[in-house]
Amino acid sequence: MDFVAGAQCLDFVNTVDPRHEPAPVSDYVPDYRALIGWSVKAGLVSTTGARTLRRQADSRAAKAAHGRAIALREASYAVFHAIATGGVPAEDDLCSIRDAYAEAVAHAAPRWENELRWTWPADDLDRIRYLLAEDAVQLLTSPQVDRVKMCRPTCGWLFVDLTRNGSRRWCATETCGVREKIRRQSLRRAARRSG
């Protein structure tokens, strides 16, 4: 699992691979335990916090929390995909993000660290979803939202283009960039042979 999106909410959206290719789909967070592991790698939850969450990971409540996180992932994908492709996000998807964020704020304790920060109890099974909803709202309300792009269509991963001139084309040059260059080279060779 690569973290190449430039925003945690988009890295979470990218836990489905590929998004568009008619191939077997890999879901990197198929259950709550995997969601915890992903959140540690993404820097959302500390290893200590992960241990606390793992104690409840096999409960029905954890399964339900996982389902809510996946619903947020899919709504976030729909919203940011629409933005990346020049469309308008559907109101239902925007409302899903709003509702997750509103729930997050309602369950948060405020903390001041030279700016307002929301915090949640370490054992709150929805804590990961709350953090991702907060990140999605921050991206949606920032100037960087105009820099959300989609990788080549057969990949479909989303990312924030942080290059100075807005020229980033792939989620990762080492993978999708190389594949696209090889594909174009093959097309050119085939055109020369048939021409």
Within-domain flag for 114: yes
Q: Is 62 part of any domain?
A: yes
For residue 65, tell me if it sits in a domain.
yes
For residues 73 and 16, give the distance between their C-alpha atoms in angstroms, rounded to a whole number.
10
Q: What is the pLDDT of residue 156?
A: 86
Q: Which domain holds residue 106?
A: 8-194
- Residues, the chain: 195
Place of tokens 């290059």: 163
Q: What is the pTM of this model?
A: 0.88
User: Digits of tens for pLDDT over the chain (195 positions)?
Assistant: 679 899 999 999 999 988 776 676 899 999 999 999 999 999 999 999 999 999 999 999 999 999 999 999 999 999 999 999 999 999 999 999 999 999 999 999 999 999 999 999 999 999 999 999 999 999 999 999 999 999 976 788 999 999 999 878 778 766 675 566 655 666 666 667 776
> Is 3 part of a structural domain of the chain?
no
Stated as kind and residue range, the H or E segment containing 34 is helix 32-41
How many domains, in total, are found in the chain?
1
- For residues 31 and 53, the answer to whether their CB atoms sit within 8 Å is no
Which helix (H) or strand (E) segment is 185 a member of?
Answer: helix 178-194
CATH classification at residue 36: 1.10.3300.10
**CA distance readout (Å), 141 to 94, 136, 174, 190, 191:** 12, 9, 30, 46, 46
Q: Which of 85, 67, 97 is nearest to 156 (CA)?
A: 85
Buried b (16+ CB within 10 A) or exposed e, 68-77: bbbebbebbb
Residue 185 domain flag? yes
Vertex 132 angle, CA 32 and 157, to 5°: 90
Domain-embedded: residue 156: yes
Q: Has residue 61 been placed in a domain?
A: yes
CA distance 163 to 170: 12
Residue 168: per-residue pLDDT: 81
Cα–Cα dist 15/35, whole Å: 10
Element (H or E) spanning 187, and its range? helix 178-194
